[in-house]
């Protein structure tokens, strides 16, 4: 068996794949956080809970309505996005004129409510969610065995990230978003309904989190706490990347995911803290983050 | 509007009233173990000190730390280890815990004050999570089990802390010491500069203050006092576990402070009492505590940002003009 | 005054936080008129524009466009009712290129200038359409700020110091553009410090001091009012 730096090659490739998968979720979630933060100046602590809600929506659709994976990929983000729209209209929008820390505290409270309710209803244990038939099984790539669903997640998340980036960089709606991020009042003075844009943006960000949740359901088990531990890592990712750049958030997500995977191969004891260590180093060397601007 | 700025005009309250109020409160705390289960009261006192220490940072410097469990729970581990494994006397163990928390505060604070506002909160949260992972894996913390069976021992080799009343009055003394220390810090020249920084950081910089040093100083003090609370709790309950270092605990102390009143001296203590009482009450029912905590968060942020004590003080000020 | 004014402002008071900055401002603009607000820095000219537009929200009084109340409309509805705003700082967005900046404001009526027409009027903008908005020169940014409003079909323009800090040849160019807009029947409320520039386009002047209107007179009486102008403007 071939080895690389004394590590069997299949083990190395396997961990890189796991790193890519984790990185896909870091990228998807930090992308949504960055989009919301850019316009609303709110750090959405409920992002992890919305990811969990997306996974649960898929689980419930399947088990109570017989609706499978593919429709859930569309429906779950719509449902969670709709909930987010209501939250923005009734609660978050009252906080825009005061210290952004209150937005963080509000969404933290909402995250606790969602997680607590789902734990109360479904218990803390994870629930299995089978990948769709078209994506089950695996293929032998010669140098490693690739479960098809995992390959799909990497490709799908890349497509979603690039799609979101194109939406923001190349469309009229994206131009409104970018302009409003710079100067919301002026954009509204041009006749754009900025309050509605804020609502939509929050809904979009939450929908992205939910979409990530559906993608994650067959890989990690569906559990009420699946989002809260993830979101803290994503916060570290966001601190490393800086929230000034959408592309920066995406790239940082994938890179840190792979680095975490590699750490698992070479020094497994440190794999759960490596991202935080990288965050600390970045703070020492470049406090604004790799892609951030000093504010 | 910065978090907590609305209470700045807090100090010029009639002094006599404060003294009377303080005397009544202390008398009530001295008498409390005869009316309330002492362990419950000790739990309240530990969390009250924890919340007051946290409030030193958010209420008087405007920094929201989302990782204060690190200092509370970290100190508990240090103290539990010193007392149980090394056989230290309890007060020395507690002081070691507080010193350890201060050291952790120096590291976390040094990194976190490089960013402001919302980033500060995220960084402290992330570093707190990292510490929790370390506690899960380090050999001396014993993973999921934590350090159990910590002996209460004899205070200074004289007073047997296994006596509930002795333990209670010792805890009360620690709380009063910590509370008085915070009061002194807030009303010292150092405290005045902290508040100036919170109000207008740029102006403080242009006046020549090394703002980062003041922030770091406040962070370390807040961490040390949070550690004092956690260390005492380890002696009271005779264990140190992962629960006290996890992010949920950091969230709880934020809630206590927010509920009682950010930037008020006694608000956090009141908030701690209420949250502990509520948790105690709910422990018997099957209603999920997390949900209730979340609801209180949402209600506080939306309609009640001054907290209970803050609202009462605003009301009193309106009445007296 | 025989016909009803197109834009009517009565007893307008406005506040920045606690400080009261406009004290009962009255202002009328008829269809097709160009009216210039003169006054020193801090007299309240920009504030008047921002209050009419609704960017400054703490206001009292009457603001009507074609008889329709503007005071109680949300900001974006004010723009949709046909007011086009060109801010003093120009407000070109750094994260948008020139073409995107131009296309940003949504059309509010269907008689706006076409993009081709705009590029014919401002050939520089066409050449630099893919550059980042804020990479343009000051004069080009000002052209872009005016051009993007022309595209929307707004018939009433609020222009805040369009010549500020620009070279004489550019000021000349902007003057030509304003004359052209006038010929097309636009109604313009212009804030200007430079009354030598303003006299070429203005039908009427208003003079402001300390948040109040202190005088108003038709364009041809500018010379007759020169003494007061010198005194109030301190030139």
For chain B, which domains are there?
5-320 (1.10.3470)
Distance from CA of A278 to the nearest CA of B (A): 11
Check B121 against A43: CB less than 8 A apart.
yes
> Domain ends where: C105, C125, C154?
C154
Contact B297, A105 (CB under 8 A): yes
The pLDDT value recorded for residue A295 is 47
Q: What is the pLDDT of residue C197?
A: 85
Check whether B10 has a pLDDT greater than 70.
no
Whichever domain contains C65, its CATH number is 3.40.50.300
Which tops the pLDDT comparison, B37 or A251? Answer: A251
Q: Widest CA span of chain A, in angstroms?
A: 67
Distance from CA of C221 to the nearest CA of A (A): 34
Q: How far is the alpha carbon of C71 from chain A, nearest alpha carbon, in Å?
A: 14
Same-domain status, C4 and C67: yes
Write down the domain spans for chain A: 3-285
Structure tokens at C33: 């008129």
Of B111, B125, B137, the CB nearest to A283: B111
Search chain B and give the residue with CA nearest A283: B111
Q: Give the closest of B3, B134, B297 to A112, CB-based.
A: B297
Per CB-CB distance under 8 Å, the chain B contacts of A44 are none
pLDDT at B13: 52
B40 touches chain A (CB under 8 A): no
> CA of A11 to nearest chain B CA: how many angstroms apart?
23
Whether the CB-CB separation of B260 and B269 falls below 8 Å is answered with yes
Query: What per-residue confidence (pLDDT) applies to B64?
Result: 93
Residue B159 has pLDDT above 50, yes or no: yes
Q: How far apart are CA B285 and CA B299, in angstroms?
A: 22
Q: Which residue has the higher pLDDT, A146 or A208?
A: A208
CB atoms within 10 A of CB C13: 16
Residues from chain A that touch B6, judged by Cβ atoms under 8 A, are none
Choose among A120, A233, A295: nearest Cβ to B291.
A120
Q: What tens digit of pLDDT does each residue of A52-82 get?
A: 999 999 999 999 999 999 999 999 999 999 9
C32 and C56 housed in the same domain: yes
Predicted pLDDT at B319: 75
Of all residues in chain A, the percent with pLDDT exceeding 70 is 98
Which CATH class for the A3-285 domain? mainly alpha
C77 and C131 belong to one structural domain: no
Q: The tokens of C232 are what? A: 């109030």
pLDDT tens digits, C77-100: 999 999 999 999 899 999 999 999
Find the mean pLDDT for residues B170-180: 93
Whole-number Cα distances in Å, A184 to A189, A191, A246, C87: 9, 11, 19, 14
- CB nearest B295 (choices: A113, A232, A235): A113
Q: Are the Cβ atoms of A276 and B123 closer than 8 angstroms?
A: no
For residues B20 and A218, the model is more confident at A218
Comparing CA positions, the residue from B145, B149, B152, B128 lying closest to residue B241 is B145
Nearest to B111 by CA among B215, B202, B196, B210: B215
Total-model pTM? 0.90
Nearest to C87 among A176, A186, A192 (CB): A186
Predicted pLDDT at B9: 42
Contact B298 A284 (CB under 8 A): no
Cβ-Cβ contacts under 8 Å between A and B: the total is 125
What percentage of chain B reaches a pLDDT higher than 70? Answer: 95
Return the number of other C-beta atoms located less than 10 Å from residue B270's C-beta.
20
Which band of pLDDT confidence, cut at 50, 70 and 90, is reported for residue B1?
A: very low
Nearest C-alpha neighbor of A122 from the set A212, A35, A206, A221: A221
C51 & C65 share domain: yes
Backbone angles phi, psi at C71, to 5 degrees: -60, -35
**Domain residues for C8?**
1-82+157-167+174-235
Same domain flag for C71 and C121: no
Weakest mean pLDDT among A143-147, A178-182, A281-285, B211-215: A143-147
Chains C and B share 3 or more Cβ pairs within 8 Å? no
d(CA A203, CA A217): 21
Residue of C nearest to A196 (CA): C76
pLDDT value at A294 more than 60: no
Contacts with C91 from chain A: Cβ below 8 Å: 183, 186
| Binary contact (A239, B126; C-beta < 8 A) | yes
**Which tens digits make up the pLDDT trace of A84-110?**
999 999 999 999 888 889 999 999 999
Q: Note whether B125 contacts A: Cβ–Cβ < 8 A.
A: yes
Choose the most confident range, by mean pLDDT, from B10-14, B113-117, C36-40: C36-40
Look at A186 and C80 and tell me if their CB atoms are within 8 Å: no
Which of A104, A224, A227 to mutate to probe the B interface, most B CBs <10 Å? A104
pLDDT digits over B122-151, tens only? 899 999 999 999 999 888 888 888 888 888
Least confident stretch, A162-171, A214-223, B277-286: B277-286
Domain count, chain C: 2
Q: Which residue in chain B has the smallest CA separation from A236?
A: B126
- pLDDT per residue as tens digits for the range B297-310: 999 999 989 988 98
Return the number of CB contacts < 8 Å for A and C: 60
Q: What is the pLDDT of residues B211-263, one digit of tens each?
A: 889 999 999 999 999 999 999 999 999 888 999 999 999 999 999 999 999 98
Each residue of A132-150: pLDDT tens digit? 988 888 888 877 888 999 9
Q: Do A183 and C96 touch (CB under 8 A)?
A: no
> Are both C27 and C114 inside the same structural domain?
no
Q: Do A189 and C152 touch (CB under 8 A)?
A: no
Give yes or no for residue A5 having a pLDDT over 60.
Answer: yes
The pair of structure tokens assigned to C164 is: 């500020």
Residues C6 and C72 in one domain: yes
pLDDT band at B5 (very low <50, low <70, confident <90, very high): very low
Count of CB atoms within 10 A of residue B183's CB? 15
Predicted-complex ipTM score: 0.91
**Same domain (yes/no): C38, C69:** yes
Shortest CB distance from A235 goes to which of B126, B254, B290? Answer: B126
Which pLDDT belongs to residue A99?
Answer: 87
Do C38 and C54 fall into the same domain?
yes
One domain, residues C42 and C139:
no
How much is the mean pLDDT over chain B? 87
CB C102, CB C125: distance < 8 Å: yes
Residues of chain A numbered 181-200 and touching chain C (CB < 8 Å): 181-183, 185-195
Q: What is the pLDDT of residues A193-205, one digit of tens each?
A: 999 999 999 999 9
Minimum CA–CA partner of A113 in chain B: B291
CB B73 within 8 A of CB B100: no
Residue B7 is predicted with a pLDDT of 44
Q: What is the pLDDT of residue C125?
A: 92
Taking CB atoms and an 8 Å cutoff, what residues of chain A touch C103? 172, 175
Residue B6 confidence (pLDDT) above 70 = no
Indicate whether A50 pLDDT > 50: yes
Query: What is the H or E stretch that residue A40 is in?
Result: helix A9-40
- The pLDDT tens digits for C192-205 are 888 788 888 899 99
* List of chain A residues whose C-beta atoms are within 8 Å of the C-beta of residue B137: 269, 272
Q: What is the pLDDT of residues B187-197, one digit of tens each?
A: 999 988 988 88
Q: Which residue of C has its CA nearest to A244?
A: C95
Section B33-44 average pLDDT = 85
**pLDDT value for C112:** 86
Contact present, C102 and C91 (Cβ < 8 Å): no
pLDDT at A23: 94
How confident is the model over A155-170, as a mean pLDDT?
94
Q: Is A182 on the interface with B (CB under 8 A)?
A: no
Extract the residue ranges of chain C whose pLDDT is less than 70: 1-3, 235
Domain co-membership, C115 together with C41: no
Shared-domain flag, residues C162 and C150: no
């Amino acid at each position: 068996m071939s080895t690389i730096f004394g590590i069997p090659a299949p083990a190395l490739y396997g961990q890189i794949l796991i790193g890519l998968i984790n990185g896909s979720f870091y990228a998807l979630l930090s992308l949504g956080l960055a989009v919301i933060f850019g316009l609303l100046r709110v750090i959405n602590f409920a992002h992890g809970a919305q990811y969990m809600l997306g996974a649960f929506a898929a689980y419930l659709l399947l088990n109570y309505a017989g609706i499978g994976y593919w429709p859930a990929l569309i429906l779950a983000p719509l449902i969670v996005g709709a909930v987010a729209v209501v939250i923005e209209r009734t609660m978050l929008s009252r906080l825009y004129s005061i210290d952004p820390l209150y937005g963080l505290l509000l969404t933290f409270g909402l995250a606790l409510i969602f997680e607590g309710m789902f734990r109360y209803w479904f218990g803390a244990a994870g629930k299995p969610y089978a990948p769709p038939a078209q994506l089950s099984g695996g293929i032998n790539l010669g140098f490693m065995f690739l479960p098809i669903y995992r390959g799909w997640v990497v490709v799908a998340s890349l497509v979603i990230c690039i799609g979101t980036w194109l939406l923001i960089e190349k469309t009229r709606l994206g131009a409104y978003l970018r302009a409003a991020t710079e100067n919301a009042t002026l954009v509204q003075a041009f006749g754009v309904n900025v309050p509605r844009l804020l609502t939509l943006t929050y809904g979009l960000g939450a929908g992205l989190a939910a979409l990530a949740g559906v993608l994650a359901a067959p890989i990690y088990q569906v559990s009420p706490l699946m989002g809260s531990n993830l979101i803290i890592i994503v916060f570290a990712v966001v601190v490393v990347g800086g929230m000034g750049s959408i592309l920066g958030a995406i790239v940082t997500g994938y890179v840190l995911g792979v680095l975490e995977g590699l750490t698992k191969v070479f020094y497994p004891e440190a794999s759960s803290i490596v991202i935080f260590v990288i965050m600390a180093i970045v703070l020492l060397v470049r406090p604004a983050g790799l892609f951030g601007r000093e504010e | 509007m910065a978090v907590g700025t609305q209470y700045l005009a807090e100090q010029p309250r009639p002094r006599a009233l404060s003294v009377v109020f303080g005397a009544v409160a202390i008398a009530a705390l001295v008498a409390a173990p005869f009316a309330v289960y002492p362990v419950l009261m000790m739990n309240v006192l530990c969390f009250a000190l924890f919340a007051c220490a946290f409030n030193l940072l958010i209420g008087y410097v405007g920094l929201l730390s989302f990782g204060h469990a690190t200092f509370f729970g970290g100190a508990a581990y240090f103290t539990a280890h010193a007392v149980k494994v090394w056989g230290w006397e309890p007060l020395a163990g507690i002081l070691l815990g507080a010193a350890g928390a201060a050291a952790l505060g120096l590291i976390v604070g040094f990194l976190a004050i490089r960013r402001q506002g919302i980033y500060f909160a995220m960084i402290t949260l992330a570093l707190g999570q990292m510490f929790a992972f370390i506690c899960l894996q380090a050999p001396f913390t014993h993973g999921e089990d934590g350090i159990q069976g910590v002996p209460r021992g004899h205070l200074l080799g004289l007073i047997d802390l296994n006596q509930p009343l002795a333990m209670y009055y010792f805890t009360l003394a620690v709380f009063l010491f910590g509370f008085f220390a915070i009061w002194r810090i807030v009303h010292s020249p150092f405290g005045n500069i902290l508040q100036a920084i919170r109000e207008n950081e740029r102006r403080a910089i242009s006046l020549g203050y090394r703002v980062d040093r003041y922030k770091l100083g406040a962070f370390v003090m807040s961490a040390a006092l949070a550690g004092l609370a956690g260390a005492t709790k380890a002696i009271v309950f005779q264990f140190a576990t992962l629960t006290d270092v996890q992010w949920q605990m950091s969230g709880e102390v934020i809630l206590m402070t927010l509920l009682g009143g950010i930037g008020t001296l006694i608000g956090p203590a009141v908030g701690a009492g209420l949250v502990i009482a509520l948790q105690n009450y709910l422990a018997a029912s099957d209603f999920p505590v997390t949900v209730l905590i979340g609801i209180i968060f949402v209600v506080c942020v939306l309609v009640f940002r001054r907290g209970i004590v803050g609202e009462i003080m605003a009301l009193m000020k309106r009445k007296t003009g | 005054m025989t016909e009803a004014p197109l834009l009517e402002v009565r007893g307008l008071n406005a506040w920045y936080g606690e400080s009261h900055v406009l004290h009962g401002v009255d202002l009328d603009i008829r269809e097709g008129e160009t009216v210039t607000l003169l006054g020193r820095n801090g007299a309240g000219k920009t504030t008047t524009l921002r209050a009419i537009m609704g960017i400054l929200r703490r206001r009292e009084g009457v603001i009507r466009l074609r008889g329709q109340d503007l005071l109680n409309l949300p900001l974006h509805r004010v723009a949709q009712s046909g007011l086009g705003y060109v801010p003093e700082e120009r407000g070109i967005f750094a994260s948008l290129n020139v073409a995107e900046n131009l296309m940003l404001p949504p059309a509010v009526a269907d008689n706006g200038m076409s993009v081709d027409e705009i590029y014919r009027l401002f050939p520089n903008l066409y050449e630099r359409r893919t550059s980042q908005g804020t990479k343009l020169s000051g004069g080009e940014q000002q052209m872009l700020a005016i051009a993007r409003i022309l595209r929307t079909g707004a018939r009433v323009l609020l222009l805040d110091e369009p010549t500020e800090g620009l070279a004489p040849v550019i000021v000349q160019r902007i003057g030509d553009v304003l004359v052209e807009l006038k010929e097309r029947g636009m109604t313009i409320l212009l804030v200007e410090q430079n009354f030598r520039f303003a006299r070429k386009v203005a039908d009427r002047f208003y003079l402001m001091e300390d948040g109040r209107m202190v005088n108003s007179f038709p364009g041809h009486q500018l010379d007759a009012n020169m003494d007061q102008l010198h005194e109030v403007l301190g030139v």
